[in-house]
Amino acid sequence: MFRRVSRWAVTAPLALTLAAALSGCGSGGPASTAASSGGGATTLTVLAAASLTGTFTELGKTFEAAHPGTTVRFNFGSSATLAQQIVQGAPGDVFAAASPATMKIVTDASLATTPAVFVRNSLQIAVPADNPATVEDLADLTDPKVKVALCAEQVPCGAAATKALNAAGLEVTPVTLEQDVKATLTKVELGEVDAALVYRTDVLASGGKVKGIDFPEAEKAINDYPIAVLSGAPAPQAAQQFVDLVLSQQGKEILTKAGFQTP
């Protein structure tokens, strides 16, 4: 188990900006949900784990093309934070989480329909392309000279990192604990750390900015990703149709191409 060097409060109060509308498909901030407006237009709000940013943005464009008059707006972030926002009243139609534990926060509050697992994801060690610290395996992260970034333990990528390190019997002291996997990977891309434990999909999405290193303990820390229509969704029909797209063969092809595994 890694030792904390700072405290991170994953549960943040719901910001007033949740009432502000996003513009365009794939936006990363919170959005208000207008189920319909003049002319039969529909806005579908999807709250999704940060690691789904690329694939869900693509799926959103696919959905809009198949449903003229519908706009898909996204709120990407830490699954744990998104779950707490939903419990606190954040508007939305669909929730896609990076772990069953974070989805359970919402279902326990009776705020979502029965979720379905649509993909799985595993960890890699991400290092800068030139790997200046010559990291080769998980044990190298225990070297105090190696600067390591991890996700905060309360979020899915951090919980997975904890499982992997425990399985290896290793203790790592990170120099930073980040809110979500995208922020953790950014530390590597900027050269601020020598390594990080992130999802293999995020390494692939970096386009060569970082290098991914496999390690056997990752198989013991695989995360299932569930998706569900939120109870009281302003656009329930469109919400179910989006979930159906994610679960469809077309959705699976987009997700597996990005490095996700089928359940």
Neighbour count for residue 24 (Cβ, 10 Å): 11
3-class SS of residue 171: coil
Q: Are residues 97 and 178 in the same domain?
A: no
Residue 20 CA, distance from chain mean position: 22
Q: Are residues 229 and 113 in the same domain?
A: yes
User: Residue for token digits 């943040």?
Assistant: 12
For residue 107, give the CATH number of its domain. Answer: 3.40.190.10
Name the pairing type of β-strands 70-77 and 94-96: unpaired
What is d(CA 8, CA 154) in angstroms, rounded to the nearest whole number?
9
The residue segments making up the domain with residue 161 are 123-220
What is d(CA 239, CA 167) in angstroms, rounded to the nearest whole number?
38
Q: Are residues 84 and 173 in the same domain?
A: no
Q: Are residues 127 and 189 in the same domain?
A: yes
Q: Are residues 168 and 154 in the same domain?
A: yes
- The sheet with strand 176-178 has its strands ordered as 176-178, 148-151, 195-199, 123-128, 210-213
Domain count, the chain: 2
Looking at 11-141, which runs of residues are DSSP E strands? 42-49, 70-77, 94-96, 116-121, 123-128
Structure confidence at residue 40 (pLDDT)? 63
Residue 29 CA, distance from chain mean position: 14
What is d(CA 176, CA 7) in angstroms, rounded to the nearest whole number?
10
Amino acid type, 223:
N
Burial letters for 75-85: b for 16+ Cβ neighbours within 10 Å, e otherwise? bbbbbbbbbbb
Query: Which residues neighbour 111 within 8 Å (Cβ) at sequence distance 6 or greater?
Result: 86, 87, 230, 231, 232
Q: Is residue 10 part of a domain?
A: no
Q: Are residues 200 and 249 in the same domain?
A: no
Q: Is residue 11 part of a domain?
A: no
Q: Are residues 23 and 40 in the same domain?
A: yes
What is d(CA 14, CA 85) in angstroms, rounded to the nearest whole number?
6
Query: Which residues neighbour 30 within 8 Å (Cβ) at sequence distance 6 or greater?
Result: 15, 17, 18, 20, 22, 75, 85, 90
Amino acid type, 255:
L
In 3D space, the residue among 213, 201, 188, 215 whose CA is nearest the CA of residue 254 turns out to be 201
Average pLDDT per consecutive 10 residues, the chain (263 residues; last block may be shorter) = 38 35 37 42 96 97 97 97 96 97 98 98 97 97 98 95 97 96 97 97 95 96 98 96 98 97 93
What is d(CA 198, CA 212) in angstroms, rounded to the nearest whole number?
9
Q: DSSP alpha helices (H): ranges in the chain?
A: 53-66, 79-87, 100-108, 156-168, 181-189, 200-205, 236-247, 249-257
Kindly report the pTM of this predicted structure: 0.83
How far apart, in Å, do the first and last CA atoms of the chain sit? 27
What is d(CA 90, CA 55) in angstroms, rounded to the nearest whole number?
23
Q: Is residue 130 part of a domain?
A: yes
As given in the structure block, the two tokens for residue 93 are 């139609």
